[in-house]
């Protein structure tokens, strides 16, 4: 991976609860020109405005129903100022900074959801695989309206985070509104220390590989390389294609997303000079470019990337780059649309601010912010009901099912019974995950097209 700038501080490309960070970033005050907006801002801050702020603090001290110290008031003021800018800028106190440091290791406390303020409520961007939230049935797009029976309307993200977090083994009660559900849903979720495995793989029949990435952290690239090698071994060197599943992946580390993307790219055969992603901000040091440097680990075999509304931030970087570079076909539903970059700037030894400093763009100069990534093939997120034993035969009937049918005594190497075609290969996947079932069909089609083009 090549970057056009040296990374000095911390850049965020994720959302809320898990506070994923990128360990490589850029300095906001690296040049005199970069500092210029800050100086102008201070010069334009009049004494009248400062007096107004001091008067508010004085009146709170005099009239508020309970005594409150100056440090807490200043913290509240900073937090309110930043959260009013956009949903991703925030004030990080000592506890939040500790969360920031531990999140990238893949081990943290909580219930395992990524959340964001949304019109006075708290929106679930995605549950993380194999976490309490995921196992409880919480889904991307759910709106949390109560936490422990307290209304969240106009609650700050920090307040919501503090209420959702807690000691391992304790419960948090969430009241949730879900699209197409008339009544609120109630969840009692047991908190625990979460150890997330970011990469899972499976080999489907006929040597088609499946890779699930739940989010991007420091170990993701190494884990992915090992899992791909295992898939190739299982396929005995004849891996025909790969599905990369980024559904409900809330993002993570920018450098991890770039490292993941370049595993599937051959930089000698790419458009846009091998660009993976770039950012543009208000000051020069906010501008970053990342380029692919690796050879394609999969050696050009067909790829299908699956996305949905829970695919956000770093996941969108991967999907957008593979789409722009014509390396993969994207299927599923439109992604979340989180295309802004947050930089963590230290204030003192125990606090910092997380400030939106740039937007990121795909190699073809597409901004994802508030628009998302559109799949090449849209597949609705629907569930195919599994037939029961009484009506199963009414779903699929052929000549072979009829009583006293004439047998076919001809020998045919390609002859396969309906049971083998429907039940053993695809039936379980059809009922358990329709989107993935269709993605596998697309991958088979890509492989067939590639094979035909070789003749």
Q: Which one is predicted more confidently, 262 or 428?
A: 262
What integer is the mean pLDDT of 292-321? 95
Catalytic site residue 89?
Answer: no
Q: Are 311 and 127 in contact (CB under 8 A)?
A: no
Closest CA to 438 of 364, 369, 376: 376
Active-site residue identified among 5, 123, 240, 338: 338
Question: Which has the minimum average pLDDT: 7-16, 153-162, 267-276, 405-414?
Answer: 7-16
pLDDT over 90 at 253, yes or no = no
Q: Which one is predicted more confidently, 408 or 189?
A: 189
Catalytic site residue 256?
Answer: no
Domain map of the chain by residue range? 2-96, 108-195, 199-339+358-378, 392-404+416-453
Question: Which has the minimum average pLDDT: 135-144, 369-378, 419-428?
Answer: 419-428
- DSSP lists the bridge partners of residue 261 as none
Question: Which has the minimum average pLDDT: 40-49, 320-329, 389-398?
Answer: 389-398
Q: Which one is predicted more confidently, 340 or 193?
A: 340
Active-site residue identified among 90, 296, 324, 433: 324
Active-site residue identified among 313, 335, 340, 433: 313
CB atoms within 10 A of CB 234: 14
Residue 115 CA, distance from chain mean position: 11
pLDDT over 80 at 119, yes or no = yes
- Split at pLDDT 50, 70, 90, the class of 114 is confident
Residue 269: predicted pLDDT: 87
Q: 108-195: which CATH topology?
A: Pdz3 Domain (2.30.42)
Residue 162: predicted pLDDT: 83
pLDDT over 70 at 389, yes or no = no
What integer is the mean pLDDT of 363-371? 96
Question: What percent of the chain has pLDDT above 70?
Answer: 79
Residue 17: predicted pLDDT: 31
The Cα–Cα gap between 10 and 100 comes to 10
Catalytic site residue 75?
Answer: no
Residue 126: predicted pLDDT: 87
The Cα–Cα gap between 132 and 190 comes to 6
Q: Which one is predicted more confidently, 159 or 289?
A: 289
Kindly state the helix (H) or strand (E) to which residue 418 belongs, with its residue range.
Answer: helix 418-418
Residue 407: predicted pLDDT: 65
Averaged confidence pLDDT in the chain:
83
What integer is the mean pLDDT of 396-425? 52
Beta strand ranges found along 95-191 (DSSP E): 107-110, 113-118, 121-127, 143-147, 150-151, 171-177, 185-190
pLDDT digits (tens, 9 = 90+) for 145-186: 999 999 998 787 778 888 998 888 999 999 999 998 999 999
Residue 215: predicted pLDDT: 84
At the second CATH level, the architecture of 199-339+358-378 is Alpha-Beta Complex (3.90)
């Amino acid at each position: 991976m090549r970057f056009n700038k040296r990374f000095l501080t911390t850049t965020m490309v994720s959302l809320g609860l898990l506070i994923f960070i990128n360990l490589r970033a850029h300095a906001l005050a690296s040049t005199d020109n970069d500092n210029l907006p800050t100086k102008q801002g201070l010069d334009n801050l009049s004494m009248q405005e400062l007096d107004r702020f001091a008067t508010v603090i004085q009146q709170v001290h005099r009239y508020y129903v309970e005594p409150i110290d100056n440090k807490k008031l200043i913290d509240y003021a900073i937090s309110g100022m930043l959260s009013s800018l956009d949903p991703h800028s925030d004030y990080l106190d000592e506890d939040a900074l500790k969360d920031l440091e531990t999140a990238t290791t893949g081990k943290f406390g909580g219930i395992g959801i990524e959340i964001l303020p949304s019109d006075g409520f708290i929106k679930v961007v995605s549950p993380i695989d194999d976490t309490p939230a995921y196992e409880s049935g919480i889904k991307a797009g759910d709106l949390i309206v109560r936490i422990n029976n307290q209304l969240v309307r106009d609650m700050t993200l920090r307040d919501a985070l503090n209420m959702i977090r807690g000691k391992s083994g304790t419960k948090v009660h969430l009241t949730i509104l879900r699209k197409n559900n008339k009544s609120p849903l109630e969840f009692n979720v047991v908190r625990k220390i979460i150890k997330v495995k970011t990469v899972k793989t499976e080999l489907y029949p006929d040597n088609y590989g499946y890779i699930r990435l739940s989010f991007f952290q420091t170990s993701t690239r190494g884990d992915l390389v090992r899992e791909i090698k295992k898939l190739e071994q299982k396929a005995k060197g004849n891996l025909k294609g790969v599905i990369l599943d980024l559904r409900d992946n809330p993002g993570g580390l920018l450098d991890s997303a770039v490292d993941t993307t370049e595993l599937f790219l051959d930089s000698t055969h790419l458009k846009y000079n091998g660009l993976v992603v770039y950012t543009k901000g208000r000051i020069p040091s906010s501008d970053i470019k990342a380029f692919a440097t690796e050879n394609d680990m999969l050696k050009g075999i067909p790829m299908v990337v699956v996305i949905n509304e829970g695919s956000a931030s770093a996941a969108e970087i991967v999907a957008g780059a593979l789409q722009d570079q014509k390396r993969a076909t994207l299927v599923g539903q439109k992604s979340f649309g989180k295309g802004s970059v947050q930089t963590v700037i230290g204030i003192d030894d125990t606090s910092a601010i997380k400030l939106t400093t740039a937007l990121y763009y795909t190699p073809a100069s597409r901004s994802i912010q508030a628009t998302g990534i559109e799949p090449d093939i849209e597949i609705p997120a629907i569930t195919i009901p599994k037939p029961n034993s009484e009506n199963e035969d009414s779903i699929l009937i052929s000549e072979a099912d009829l009583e006293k049918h004439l047998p076919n005594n001809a020998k045919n190497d390609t002859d396969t019974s309906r049971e083998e075609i429907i039940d053993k290969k695809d039936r379980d996947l059809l009922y358990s995950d329709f989107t993935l079932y269709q993605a596998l069909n697309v991958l088979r089609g890509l492989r067939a097209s590639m094979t035909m083009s070789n003749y």
